[in-house]
Copies of this chain bind each other. A is one copy, B any other.
Amino acid sequence: MTPEEFRQAGYAVVDWIADYWATLPQRPVTSQDPPGTVAAELPPRPPTQGEPVEAILTDLGKLVAPRLTHWQHPGFFGYFPANTSGPSVLGDLVSAGLGVQGMLWATGPACTELETVMLDWLAEALDLPARFRSTGRGGGVIQDSASSATLVATLVALHRAAGGRWREVGVDRRYRVYTSTEAHSSVEKAARIAGLGSDGVRLIEVDPTTRAMSPTALRAAIEADQAAGLVPALVVATVGTTSTTAVDPLPQIGPICAGYGVFLHVDAAYAGAAAVCPELRFGHAGLEYADSYCFDPHKWLLTGFDCDAFWVADTGELVEALTVLPEYLRNAATESGAVIDYRDWQVPLGRRFRALKLWFVLRWYGVEGLREHIRRGVALAARFADRVRADDRFELVAPHPYALVCFRLRGPDGPNEELLARVNATGRVFLTHTRVAGRYTLRLAVGSPQTTETHVDEAWALICEAAASATPA
């Protein structure tokens, strides 16, 4: 495809996306087609001869788009948001066009340096502790997801626990990882990948009301393990848990980790973004105790997946744990010691130029624009929670410090499951569920920049309607 052919086809694809966004509110949020529908409509083998872009775009509109869950839809309230934005898409487009592979500084100097600066910009925007800035021993890097950030933190913690010998001798099954019963499943998955198995993970109980990790229980677990000859290696604390956005108390957890010499990773995948607003930084109190920290701009900061921002306080330790240097990657810049080679900060070797989308987002919105976005989400969630609170049929199940509201019909689980199915079947909105202290609970998470009071009110109206027909009068 020549540059001129690309130019023409590129306009058509830009038009397709602009039209898709403009028509999103009219589309059902989810597809109702059964499994196998798309696969059945595609040819069993690739074409022998090439086809024009127009033919592909036609099939995109006909076969693919109607069978998606529309994550950018203003009525999408499921999981956590994963919202993108125009500037993010454009930054990613530039990245795709440049086709730079940033495994080493030498394979893309601007790719590396822009990333370092963007992570410093983010640290500034969130007012993160000085220890994470690149001006000192710390620094940040883009991972694909918080799952990978947790895995990397786990590996560095194991390396430290082994006195720096983990790289050679492997994992010791006596190492233990601590996280709350409400933590994300990626903590267990990281421990599994690292060779600790689920046996290596201690799930610490939470406060029954706040759903936040109990520091007392954490201390007791660490002490019991030490007494049993086991080695506490890592605590993963969460700022904004997936179920209910609970905030683990870092001011208490931090000193415990410091006291027992345990690596502390803080996972703020969803809620970290809120810290662009000074009034929403409460979750970061005590963050100066953390050895590593991450949040996902790809969740609530208008940056398309994948973009997890991950910082460590000691980049030397990180690199020591993960570095590999085969002959074919040796180069003068690496050997000078004056550059960052981000391949040593992550699991894969290769990497895309993901800093561009952050650069486009941070510059196009400015910090004030991002604050406005976060505040709008928090206000819309509060508006919805007010509706729930005012209706005796419903109860709020947990605090809603950010933009997620957890609620349910009072009483048994059955009508709640039925309610969720009915509401989602309308195609107007999409909510998901969790269990809080064993009880089936509905989750409404606000995130899309297209979501307004109208959409939140419509969600509430649909919920009330479904509740009226689902529960006995």
* Contact with A193, one of B94, B113, B347, B367 (Cβ below 8 angstroms): B347
* Contact status A38-B71, CB under 8 Å: no
* Contact status B197-A39, CB under 8 Å: no
* Integer count of this chain's copies in the complex: 2
- Tell me the minimal C-beta distance from A171 to chain B in angstroms: 3
The yes or no answer to A55 lying at the interface (CB within 8 A) is yes
A120 CA / B39 CA spacing, docked (Å): 11
The yes or no answer to A217 lying at the interface (CB within 8 A) is no
- Which segment of A28-36, A232-240, A385-393, A458-466 sits at the interface? A28-36
Interface residues on A, range: 35 or more
The answer to whether A68 and B200 touch (CB under 8 A), given A6-B89, A350-B305, is no
The answer to whether A109 and B31 touch (CB under 8 A), given A99-B304, A363-B46, is yes
The yes or no answer to A315 lying at the interface (CB within 8 A) is no
Interface of A is mostly: helix
Chain B residues near A193 (CB, 8 Å)? Answer: 151, 155, 193-194, 347
- Tell me the minimal C-beta distance from A125 to chain B in angstroms: 6
The answer to whether A197 and B185 touch (CB under 8 A), given A84-B96, A242-B328, is no
* Contact with A197, one of B68, B122, B167 (Cβ below 8 angstroms): B167
Give the contacts of A157-203 with B (CB-CB under 8 A).
Answer: 158, 166-171, 173, 184-186, 188-189, 192-200
A21 CA / B1 CA spacing, docked (Å): 11
Chain B residues near A10 (CB, 8 Å)? Answer: 10-11, 14, 17-18, 86, 89-90, 93
Q: Known pairs A79-B328, A170-B197, A185-B325. 20 more at Cβ < 8 A?
A: A9-B87, A35-B105, A37-B109, A38-B109, A38-B110, A39-B113, A46-B367, A49-B366, A51-B364, A51-B366, A67-B109, A71-B101, A71-B107, A92-B93, A144-B144, A145-B349, A168-B198, A186-B324, A193-B347, A330-B433
The yes or no answer to A50 lying at the interface (CB within 8 A) is yes
Some 7 contacts from A to B, beta carbons below 8 A apart, are A6-B21, A42-B113, A46-B366, A68-B100, A147-B349, A155-B193, A189-B324
The yes or no answer to A472 lying at the interface (CB within 8 A) is no
The yes or no answer to A47 lying at the interface (CB within 8 A) is yes
Chain B residues near A89 (CB, 8 Å)? Answer: 6, 10, 93, 96-97
* Contact status B46-A362, CB under 8 Å: yes
A155 CA / B190 CA spacing, docked (Å): 12
A85 CA / B3 CA spacing, docked (Å): 10
The answer to whether A347 and B42 touch (CB under 8 A), given A50-B365, A195-B195, A242-B328, is no
The yes or no answer to A15 lying at the interface (CB within 8 A) is yes
Mark contacts of A403-443 with chain B using CB atoms, 8 A cut-off: 1 yes-contact digit, 0 otherwise.
Answer: 00000000000000000000000000000111100000001
The answer to whether A99 and B111 touch (CB under 8 A), given A9-B90, A170-B173, A349-B147, is no
A195 CA / B55 CA spacing, docked (Å): 48
* Contact status B46-A121, CB under 8 Å: yes
A142 CA / B175 CA spacing, docked (Å): 32
* Contact status A68-B111, CB under 8 Å: yes
* Contact with A100, one of B35, B38, B71, B155 (Cβ below 8 angstroms): B71
The yes or no answer to A279 lying at the interface (CB within 8 A) is no
Chain B residues near A348 (CB, 8 Å)? Answer: 144-145, 147-148, 186, 306
The yes or no answer to A60 lying at the interface (CB within 8 A) is yes
* Contact status B364-A53, CB under 8 Å: yes
* Contact status B51-A363, CB under 8 Å: yes
Chain B residues near A70 (CB, 8 Å)? Answer: 98, 100
* Contact status A47-B363, CB under 8 Å: yes
Chain B residues near A17 (CB, 8 Å)? Answer: 6, 10, 93-94, 97-98
Mark contacts of A350-377 with chain B using CB atoms, 8 A cut-off: 1 yes-contact digit, 0 otherwise.
Answer: 1110001001101111111100000000
Give the contacts of A129-149 with B (CB-CB under 8 A).
Answer: 144-145, 147-148
Chain B residues near A72 (CB, 8 Å)? Answer: 98-99
The yes or no answer to A245 lying at the interface (CB within 8 A) is no
Closest to A434 in B: B328
7 shortest A-B CB distances, which residue pairs? A195-B195, A1-B86, A171-B195, A170-B197, A10-B14, A17-B97, A38-B113
* Contact with A92, one of B96, B124, B434 (Cβ below 8 angstroms): B96
* Contact status A368-B87, CB under 8 Å: no
The yes or no answer to A382 lying at the interface (CB within 8 A) is no
- Tell me the minimal C-beta distance from A215 to chain B in angstroms: 23
The yes or no answer to A114 lying at the interface (CB within 8 A) is yes
* Contact status A359-B56, CB under 8 Å: yes
* Contact status A148-B347, CB under 8 Å: yes
